[in-house]
Amino acid sequence: LATFAAAAALTLAAGSAFAQCDPGETVIKFSHVTNADKHPKGLAAALFAQRVNEEMNGKVCVEVFPNSSLYGDDKEMEALLLGDVQMIAPSLSKFEQFTKKFRIFDLPFMFKNMEAVDEFQGTDEIQELKSSMVKRGVMGLRFWHNGLKQFSANKPLLEPEDAKGLKFRVQSSDVLVAQMSALGASPQKMAFSEVYGALQTGVVDGQENTWSNIYGQKFFEVQDGSTETNHGLLDYLVAVNAQWWMGLPEDVRTQISQILDEVTDERNAEVNAVDMAARQAILDAGGVIRELTPEQRKDWVVAMKPVWEQFEKDVSPEFIALAQSIND
């Protein structure tokens, strides 16, 4: 039993950057849902923990719980509000109950690449959105990138018609529901940790995600293949419980912010490389990736872009115009 316990503790330490916090330290439980390694969010969370635990030793201690090991994405928001965890980094698609402004990030074909996303988020208007949910108890600190999304299904998807009638898992976002409906598919909101099982058992036929998630969660193993559509964005907001954050001593808050700034810059600069490595890892593991001709891709744009109109009022036409001017 002792050996088993020791082995389990080791695994936990390696898998979750789990720190042994000392008495008296302010503990930050950081819960997230993706893989710890070879993943933009997993790597950023681990680096943040490592730096805080080194540089603020004795004062602050970060424990990271990756891969929905503490809370799934259907529970982590509630856990943050209750103070059961102090930090989370959900995708922007999961803030619907707090703000409709983030819907712009879910609109298909809004951003041509991650550089455009970075520039858009760097504008004052978008930076302000991070603190727009404070009244609801949530404070956004930094945007963390993942990448552009691809489709996968249990049959080849080359034209939008191929998705018709299929059941697709989507994140808890009404924009993504509308996007799949525009394709004639039937969308189902579902927690991230349940997707692999749902694909495997045929509860859903397909899903959309980035290469690092398709690889990390092994979706490619239970799908016919993935299609490189780059049709949407998966991006995160590092969020804290606003009351807890404002209650920290100012010097502690400043130092955490500074470390988070540096970690954000460092890891956001690497996301394209992590994304491409995951794409290659899927191929190396025997996964199928289909590329679209420019004509085929245009057909997907024509099928999905009308969704913008439905959500224009929520996201403000000015923000759409701003995002588009950056694409040009």
Binding site for ligand LMR (CB under 6 A): 33-34, 41, 73, 91, 146, 171, 192, 209, 213, 234
Residue 236 is encoded by which pair of tokens? 């995160």
Question: How many residues does this entry show for the chain?
Answer: 328
Q: Which amino acid is at 49?
A: A
DSSP state of 156: -
Nearer to ligand LMR, 130 or 149 (CB): 149
d(C-alpha 110, C-alpha 324), whole Å: 7
Q: Least distance to ligand LMR from the beta carbon of 146, Å?
A: 6
Nearer to ligand LMR, 61 or 170 (CB): 170
Q: Least distance to ligand LMR from the beta carbon of 216, Å?
A: 9
Q: Least distance to ligand LMR from the beta carbon of 320, Å?
A: 22
68 CB-near residues (< 8 Å, 6+ apart): 33, 191, 192, 193
**61: enclosing H helix or E strand:** strand 60-65
Nearer to ligand LMR, 56 or 212 (CB): 212
Q: Least distance to ligand LMR from the beta carbon of 71, Å?
A: 12
Nearer to ligand LMR, 18 or 192 (CB): 192
Q: Which of 90, 88, 85, 76 is nearest to 27 (CA)?
A: 85
Task: Identify the three-state secondary structure at position 152.
Answer: strand
Nearer to ligand LMR, 91 or 226 (CB): 91
Q: Least distance to ligand LMR from the beta carbon of 73, Å?
A: 6
Distance of CA 322 to the CA centre of its chain: 23
